[in-house]
């Protein structure tokens, strides 16, 4: 029961955000099946689908910058709720249209609004927590997301095959309900501070003057952390782009969607069952060290797909890369929050995800074109080497971070 101690005594609002994420992720039907929607239902080639998935990811850049600015300057809760509502309405419209090129553009709009809402969500979680309970808060919210993902993809696979309009409508309705939970139960969290007093502080979360870029260059460690994460996210992007295509190649179009849904549900179940245990075993390590370990699990879990083609081994692969996902997601947010100024918290959140998300955005385009002339199994060999190199780079970064923090303590 000691493993649950990190989740006890958190702010009441964190528990409502946790509930909201469960509701939202139970109905997150569209995202996991995006590649199959574009290729199987709308008729795009793998290369065209790769470009479109990249576009849906690339809109994160302007959307996140807008969302970060609004969240730091105005009201975080209202920003989150309003933008998420627009995302839901975009999905809802898809449910009443025939399959055509109108659908992908509505999905682009949904991606824009979802991306714009993320900085507010991350900043609110950081505002409501402190360094001593932040890993518990962030891992609980991550757990909430994946409790829904444990069942959502199975429902999505069923709807995709038999009731396609409900795929969009169900996603929209659960998103709206999740917004209502936040709006009614979570107060505004944007902190108040005295900038003259803050600049004298040695706290890593002290407020900063100037633009977000000026503040970022005063904290170059976040830039380096983001660049390494960019290559890591490139490798992980293949889970949602190449893996469903690989499942289709191995099991056929209809069964491929079902198998991919099963793998995504396995991902959710592993997260639900193992997150508490993994956090308990790794919380004594630095966040950057845990991110480095996550890359090792990604390298092994995704790399082994080069050699396997059975469902059982693909499930084992999913378990391994999911452990990497748990280590990555529960520590990245902690590192960024612990090193971001409270005055620029949402904008730092957006800047980090813009940098690291570049890999996520480019992954489908690069691999989509690569697949025109190469067998899909080769993707997993490339993924293995990229993740392994990133792991070594992040371990080196972690060692330097410990040295930097030690020197900072000595100066104080």
Q: What is the pLDDT of residues 39-51, one digit of tens each?
A: 888 887 877 787 8
DSSP string, 306-369: GT--SHHHHHHHHHHHHHHHHHHHHHHHHHHHHTS-GGGHHHHHHHHHHHHHHHHHHHHHHHHH
Q: What is the pLDDT of residues 112-146, one digit of tens each?
A: 999 899 999 989 998 998 888 888 888 889 888 87
Q: What is the pLDDT of residues 51-69, one digit of tens each?
A: 887 788 778 788 988 999 9
Q: Is the pLDDT of residue 234 over 80?
A: yes
Q: Is the pLDDT of residue 312 over 70?
A: yes
DSSP string, 16-49: HHHHHHHHHHHT--TGGGHHHIIIIIS---HHHH
Q: What is the pLDDT of residue 394?
A: 94
Task: State residue 190 phi and psi, 5-degree precision.
Answer: -55, 125
Q: Residue 409 — very low, low, confident or very high, per pLDDT cuts 50/70/90? A: very low
Q: What is the pLDDT of residue 325?
A: 92
Q: Is the pLDDT of residue 92 over 80?
A: yes
Burial readout 387-403 (b: 16 or more C-beta within 10 A, e: otherwise): bbbbbebbbebbeebee
Q: What is the pLDDT of residues 175-190, one digit of tens each?
A: 999 999 999 999 998 8
Token look-up 């491929």 returns 256
Percent of the chain's residues with pLDDT above 90 = 32
> What's the mean pLDDT in 23-32?
84
Q: What is the pLDDT of residues 68-85, one digit of tens each?
A: 999 988 889 999 999 999
Q: What is the pLDDT of residues 335-362, one digit of tens each?
A: 888 888 888 888 888 888 788 778 877 8
Q: Residue 110 — very low, low, confident or very high, per pLDDT cuts 50/70/90? A: very high
Q: What is the pLDDT of residue 277?
A: 87
């Amino acid at each position: 029961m000691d493993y649950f101690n990190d989740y006890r005594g958190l702010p009441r609002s964190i528990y409502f955000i946790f509930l909201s994420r469960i509701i939202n992720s139970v109905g997150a039907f569209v995202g996991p099946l995006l590649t199959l929607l574009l290729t199987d239902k709308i008729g795009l080639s793998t290369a065209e689908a790769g470009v479109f998935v990249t576009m849906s990811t690339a809109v994160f850049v302007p959307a996140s910058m807008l969302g970060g600015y609004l969240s730091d300057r105005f009201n975080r809760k209202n920003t989150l709720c309003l933008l998420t509502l627009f995302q839901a309405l975009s999905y809802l419209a898809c449910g009443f249209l025939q399959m055509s090129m109108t659908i992908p553009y509505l999905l682009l709009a949904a991606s824009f609004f979802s991306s714009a809402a993320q900085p507010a969500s991350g900043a609110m979680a950081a505002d409501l927590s402190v360094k001593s309970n932040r890993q518990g808060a962030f891992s609980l919210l991550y757990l909430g997301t994946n409790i829904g993902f444990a069942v959502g993809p199975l429902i999505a696979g069923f709807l995709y095959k038999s009731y396609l309009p409900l795929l969009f409508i169900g996603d929209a309705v659960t998103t709206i309900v999740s917004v209502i939970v936040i709006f009614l139960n979570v107060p505004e969290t944007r902190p108040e501070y005295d900038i003259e007093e803050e600049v004298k502080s040695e706290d890593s979360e002290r407020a900063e003057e100037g633009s977000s870029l000026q503040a970022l260059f005063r904290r170059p460690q976040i830039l380096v952390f983001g660049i390494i994460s960019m290559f890591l996210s490139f490798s992980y992007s293949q889970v949602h782009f190449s893996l469903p295509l690989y499942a289709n190649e191995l099991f056929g179009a209809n069964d491929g969607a079902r198998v991919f849904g099963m793998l995504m549900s396995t991902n959710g179940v592993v997260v639900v069952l193992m997150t508490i245990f993994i956090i308990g075993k790794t919380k004594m390590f630095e966040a950057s060290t845990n991110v480095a370990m996550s890359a090792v699990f990604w390298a092994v879990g995704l790399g082994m797909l080069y050699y396997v083609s059975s469902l059982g081994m693909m499930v084992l692969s999913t378990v391994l890369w999911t452990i990497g996902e748990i280590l990555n997601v529960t520590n990245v947010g902690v590192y960024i929050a612990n090193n971001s100024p409270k005055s620029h918290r949402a904008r730092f959140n957006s800047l980090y995800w813009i940098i690291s998300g570049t890999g996520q955005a480019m992954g489908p385009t690069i691999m989509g074109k690569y697949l025109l002339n190469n067998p899909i199994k080769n993707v997993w060999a490339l993924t293995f080497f990229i993740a392994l190199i990133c792991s070594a780079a992040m371990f080196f970064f972690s060692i330097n971070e410990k040295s930097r923090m030690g020197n900072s303590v000595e100066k104080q």
